[in-house]
Amino acid sequence: MSRASALLLNVRVIWALVLREIITRYGRENIGFLWLIVEPMLFTGGIAISWSFFASLHGHRIGVLEFAVTGYSSILLWRNCANRAVNGVQPNFDLLYHRRVKVLDVLVARCLLEIASATLSFVVLTVAFVFLDMMPAPRDLMQVMIAWFFLAWVSVAIALVVAALSEMSDLVERVWHVATYLFFPLSGALFMVDWLSPAMQKVVLWIPMVHGLEMLRGGYFGPSIRTLFSVEYLFLFCGICTYLGLLLVKVMSRRVVRK
């Protein structure tokens, strides 16, 4: 089989898995697959609006709503990717009977669906709030898109590692759920790095999501805020983590058994 037709086959398998995943998750009842967008929109939109009532960012020249929308949208991205990938193989085990369906395809399909869901929700919410004049439009759309791309990449890379490990040991799932909650505030949703003490800045700048979100907000708010991030660090983290993830998935898929 040539490389091009092998690639085409992969795309076909992943697409079939995505469509299947949509049906198993959302079914054909009521609004069906629209839940894919509505669910994260309700979450982010709900939190953002309640924040804009109860919280204030005195002394900072940015609005609460856009701060919350950017923050929670990116949390949804990495959290949902990893959560869906953890123990993501077992429910699809029967499909691995088809030689063409690989463990990696199953995980990639799940991540793609989460990325699509988080991205669409982010876009629709932003457009809606901007249109309703509740928040300003992004200043530098290109930077926002590049940052979003990096955040999605970080999410997939982490998801692959966590998914592979969770298949090898049950402990990982429990640890990961605790870690998700700990990273919830740490991932940058609740602060700008500039607001922290230099010592704290050093700590949080180890977290790749912080870099992605700083970049995203830098693009959204423009030069009115000071952002601290390194594209090199993001790139390096994504590269190494993806490599590690693929390696672990390869090892795991050779020994995966039905539980």
Partner 1 sequence: MITCVNLTKKYKTRSGFNVCIDDVSFSVQKGERLGILGKNGSGKSTLIRLIAGVDAPTSGHVKREMSVSWPLAFDGGFQGSLSGIDNIKFVSRIYGMDFKTCRDFVSDFSELGKSLWEPVKHYSSGMRSRLAFALTLSVDFDCVLIDEVISVGDSRFQQKCHDELFVKRPERSIILVSHHHDVVERYCTHAAVLKAGKLTICSDISSAYEEYENNA
Going from the C-alpha of 176 to that of each of 169, 208, 254, the distances in angstroms are 12, 17, 23
Which residue, 215, 166, 168, is CA-closest to 188?
Answer: 215
9-17, 123-131, 143-151, 213-221 -> range binding partner 1 (CB under 8 A): 9-17
User: Residue 37: how many CA atoms within 13 Å on its side-chain side?
Assistant: 10
CA distance 206 to 247: 23
Choosing from 47, 49, 57, 95, the residue that interacts with partner 1 (CB under 8 A) is 95
Choosing from 6, 34, 56, 94, the residue that interacts with partner 1 (CB under 8 A) is 94
The amino acid at residue 255 is: R
Q: How far is the CB of 24 from partner 1 (least distance, A)?
A: 5
- For residue 164, state whether it binds partner 1 (rule: CB under 8 A): no
Which residue, 241, 135, 151, is CA-closest to 188?
Answer: 151
Q: Give, as ranges, the residues between 209 and 248 that touch partner 1 (CB under 8 A).
A: none
x/- mask, partner 1, residues 99-138, rule CB under 8 A, reads xxx-------------------------------------
Choosing from 6, 15, 56, 200, the residue that interacts with partner 1 (CB under 8 A) is 15
Which residue, 59, 220, 208, 28, is CA-closest to 125?
Answer: 220
Choosing from 53, 97, 178, 182, the residue that interacts with partner 1 (CB under 8 A) is 97
Spell out the SS3 assignment of 74-125. Answer: HHHHHHHHHHHHCCCCHHHHHHHHCCCCCHHHHHHHHHHHHHHHHHHHHHHH
First to last CA, the chain: 34
Q: What are phi and psi of 96, to 5 degrees?
A: -70, -5
- For residue 197, state whether it binds partner 1 (rule: CB under 8 A): no
- For residue 7, state whether it binds partner 1 (rule: CB under 8 A): no
Q: What are phi and psi of 123, to 5 degrees?
A: -65, -50
x/- mask, partner 1, residues 22-41, rule CB under 8 A, reads -xx-----------------
Going from the C-alpha of 229 to that of each of 85, 103, 204, the distances in angstroms are 27, 34, 11
- For residue 2, state whether it binds partner 1 (rule: CB under 8 A): no
Residues contacting partner 1: total by CB under 8 A:
22
Choosing from 47, 49, 62, 96, the residue that interacts with partner 1 (CB under 8 A) is 96
87-95, 160-168, 172-180, 195-203 -> range binding partner 1 (CB under 8 A): 87-95
Q: How far is the CB of 246 from partner 1 (least distance, A)?
A: 16
Tokens representing 102 are 């690989």
Choosing from 3, 58, 61, 254, the residue that interacts with partner 1 (CB under 8 A) is 254
- For residue 13, state whether it binds partner 1 (rule: CB under 8 A): yes
Q: How far is the CB of 72 from partner 1 (least distance, A)?
A: 30
The amino acid at residue 25 is: R
Give me the residues that bind partner 1 (CB under 8 A), please: 9, 12-13, 15-16, 19-20, 23-24, 92-101, 253-254, 257
